[in-house]
Amino acid sequence: MTRSGLLPRGLVALGAGAVLVAALSAHGAAGAGGDVASTAARFAGPRITGLRRLTEAQYRNTIADIFGPDIRVAGRFEPIVRPVHELIASGARDSSVSPSGLEQLDAIGRGVAAQVFDDKHRALFLPCQPHDEAAPDESCARAALLPLGRYLFRRPLTDAEGNGYVAMAGAAARTAHSFDKGLELGLAAMLESPQFLYIVETAQPDPQHPGVLVLDDYSRASRLSYTLWNTTPDAALLASAASGRLHDPAVLAATAAKMVKSPRFEDGIRAFFADMLLFERFDSLSKDPIIFPYFNSEVAAAMPEQMLRTITDHLLTRDGDYRQLFLTGHTFMTRALGGLYQVPVHKDKGWEPYQFAPGADRAGLLGQAGFLAIYSQTGRSSPTLRGRAIRELLLCQPVPNPPGNVNFTAVQDVKNRAMPTARVRLAAHMTDENCAGCHRLTDPLGLSLERFDGIGGWRTTENGAVIDPAGKLDKQDFSGAEGLGKLLAASPDASQCVASRALEYVRGQPSDDADAMVESLDSHFAASGYRIRALFLDAVTQPQVWEVKEPPLGAPTHLSLLER
């Protein structure tokens, strides 16, 4: 959307709500597109240069942070579509909201608003007493709504916005004969506003570099917060933005340094790796219970959590080398997972640390049931899916999609005693030259993980035949998950890949056009000993990260009710 300079379609739909798209231009009149220099020259104030839709997790975290964790967010969120070979963070820039998605968001927002002003919570958010509980009270409504609006929109409300929401609350209070109901509607309208549902990025000319646009302070605060903490900016960050200090590279660096040291950085790292490793696949993960009796709802829920605990424990708690993530034997177990892994678990509820024995071949992420399960089929493992995931997600080496007319008969015939193992079946499948090209990229990696079944359970035979865990990465032979982990840990592609993904995650756009930045990040990453805090700190403090290379959005096509 920002690349094309057009508004997302969903915003038109959002206009059906209380606040219309024109609110997006509240910081000033939007201009037409053009090259950066001419744009910068033409406009003196901040301009909208991008919209990034909140993910479900970001929405939930934001509500919890602003209103408290006991406010329930009940409803189904329309997912953000992942662009091919990109992060959801990039897809968020192009994500619209469908009419049914808007209905869901409307219901969710109204549900939140009703809780915020119910008897249990009202006193927390109402700094005044209305003159009449059954009638509008403009000043009290303003005192209640404007501070909330500042947190929800991640910037102070404009006068037009503030007046509009207060007027809306007053009209509703008059109709409902309830001051609180009026506030509810005003808050619900804010929660339905694109200013809340989208992280609105605005830019302004860089005084240090004439002709260049850079994100303004409030946009910097939002980007820092949603990148590093996966939630809305807190009061301190908004205060820094208000003071205009986030433009100062030293202040920005100090702020970011503090944020990556905070326990809340774990939320950011969880969100990043969930995005990088395609965790949305867990949402639709299903396995044949006859083939995989150890797979159940508890195991399905624990799989992604185990991976995230392993990642955050290694990278944050232990401040470990990213490359060792492919080799670490430290992980966490629940009773349900213990059955799948066939290891003892002491606690009858919750998680406990676990360390795999040397030689267990459960090396790092690649030996985790979650990784192995989501890159498998419903009823069998898949060396191809696993190999492709390793290429694409961990090495950033895209593999083409298979052609539409592939004959999978040999691969799917898993009970054929003449072709007892996946290695044999894939060898038969690869006699088709149309398929062989890609399979040569994926299968030699995935076959090394064949001692893990379709849910990551350990096995040594398939159909009575011993499984050969030999693998090949480019020209290097190896064996098993541990062998693969060692090669990935030593691969410069693996560290550069995560650096590239980190940059994409920060900017919300692929790093294809940022080779120099990626190389710089990777170089600094290596110098830090491949520490994830250093990588993200570096990524958010690179001056180019805050530059806007694209033309600002076009003129609004709808008027806001608030500005009538």
Partner 1 sequence: MIRPGRLGLGGVVIAGALALSGAGLLRGHAGASPARAQGLPPARLPAPPPSGVMGFVVENFVPTIVPGMDSCPHGTAPRLREEYLRTLTADEAARLRRKENEKELTNLWHAYAFGAGGTNICSQPDRFQHALFPPVESKFAYGLDLDGDASGGGGKDGCAHGKFVSPDGLSGIDNQEYRAMGCELELRGNDGSGGDSLTGMKQFHTSGEWTQVILLKNVHSLVKDDDVEVIYANTADRPEIDNKGNFLRGLSFTVADKGARHRNVLKGHIRDGVLTTDPADIRLAETWGQGGARDIRGNRTQYHYLKGRLRLAFEPDGSLRGLVGGYRPLFDVIVSTSLGGAGSALVAGIDCSAQLAGLRKYADGARDPRTGQCTAISSAMRIEAVPAFINDLPTSTETALK
Q: How many helices (H) and strands (E) does the chain have?
A: 26, 10
Residues 362-421 that bind partner 1 (CB under 8 A): none
Among 335, 524, 549, 558, binds partner 1 (CB under 8 A): 335
Letters for 251-290 (x = contact with partner 1 by CB under 8 A, - = none) are --------------------------------------xx
User: Per CB under 8 A, does 342 bind partner 1?
Assistant: yes
Residue 415: count of CB within 10 angstroms of its CB: 8
For the four alpha carbons of 418, 423, 429 and 431, in that order, the dihedral sign comes to negative
- State how far the Cα of 286 lies from the Cα of 296, in Å rounded to an integer: 9
User: Per CB under 8 A, does 359 bind partner 1?
Assistant: no
Amino acid at position 231, single letter: T
The footprint of partner 1 on this chain (CB under 8 A) covers a number of residues equal to 17
Amino acid at position 464, single letter: G
User: Per CB under 8 A, does 546 bind partner 1?
Assistant: no
**3-state DSSP helix/strand/coil % of the chain, to nearest 5:** 55, 5, 40
408, β-bridge pairs? none
User: Per CB under 8 A, does 294 bind partner 1?
Assistant: yes
Considering only the stretches 157-165, 260-268, 341-349, 442-450, report the one whose residues sit in contact with partner 1 under the rule CB under 8 A: 341-349
User: Per CB under 8 A, does 339 bind partner 1?
Assistant: yes
53, β-bridge pairs? 198
Q: What angle do CA 36, 41, 45 make, to 5 degrees?
A: 100
Among 118, 403, 459, 529, binds partner 1 (CB under 8 A): 459
- State how far the Cα of 242 lies from the Cα of 102, in Å rounded to an integer: 31
Q: Judged by CB, which is closer to partner 1: 179, or 354? A: 354
Q: How far is the CB of 383 from partner 1 (least distance, A)?
A: 21
Q: How far is the CB of 479 from partner 1 (least distance, A)?
A: 21
Rounded to a whole number of angstroms, the distance between the first and last alpha carbons of the chain is 27
Could you tell me the two tokens for 94? 């192009």
Q: Judged by CB, which is closer to partner 1: 221, or 337? A: 337
DSSP H helical segments within 177-279, as ranges?
179-192, 194-197, 217-228, 235-242, 249-261, 265-276
- State how far the Cα of 5 lies from the Cα of 555, in Å rounded to an integer: 10
Residue 479's φ and ψ, nearest 5 degrees, are -140, 130
- State how far the Cα of 85 lies from the Cα of 77, in Å rounded to an integer: 23
Considering only the stretches 25-33, 228-236, 336-344, 414-422, report the one whose residues sit in contact with partner 1 under the rule CB under 8 A: 336-344
User: Per CB under 8 A, does 345 bind partner 1?
Assistant: yes
Q: What angle do CA 193, 199, 203 make, to 5 degrees?
A: 115
Q: Judged by CB, which is closer to partner 1: 333, or 545? A: 333
Q: Judged by CB, which is closer to partner 1: 319, or 352? A: 352
Considering only the stretches 42-50, 334-342, 392-400, 405-413, report the one whose residues sit in contact with partner 1 under the rule CB under 8 A: 334-342
Among 158, 296, 412, 544, binds partner 1 (CB under 8 A): 296
Residues 75-94 that bind partner 1 (CB under 8 A): none
Q: Judged by CB, which is closer to partner 1: 148, or 299? A: 299
Q: How far is the CB of 228 from partner 1 (least distance, A)?
A: 36
Q: Judged by CB, which is closer to partner 1: 165, or 354? A: 354
- State how far the Cα of 310 lies from the Cα of 317, in Å rounded to an integer: 10
Among 346, 417, 475, 564, binds partner 1 (CB under 8 A): 346
Q: Judged by CB, which is closer to partner 1: 5, or 379? A: 379
199, β-bridge pairs? 52
Among 207, 263, 344, 404, binds partner 1 (CB under 8 A): 344
User: Per CB under 8 A, does 343 bind partner 1?
Assistant: yes
Residue 118: count of CB within 10 angstroms of its CB: 12
Considering only the stretches 168-176, 293-301, 363-371, 428-436, report the one whose residues sit in contact with partner 1 under the rule CB under 8 A: 293-301
| 476-479 and 470-473 strand pairing | antiparallel
From 456, 159, 415, select the one nearest 302 (Cα to Cα). Answer: 456
Among 186, 304, 338, 420, binds partner 1 (CB under 8 A): 338
Considering only the stretches 2-10, 56-64, 345-353, 395-403, report the one whose residues sit in contact with partner 1 under the rule CB under 8 A: 345-353
Q: Is 289 exposed, middle or buried (0-12, 13-18, 19+ CB in 10 A)?
A: exposed
Binding site for partner 1 (CB under 8 A): 289-290, 293-294, 296, 335-336, 338-339, 342-346, 348, 459-460
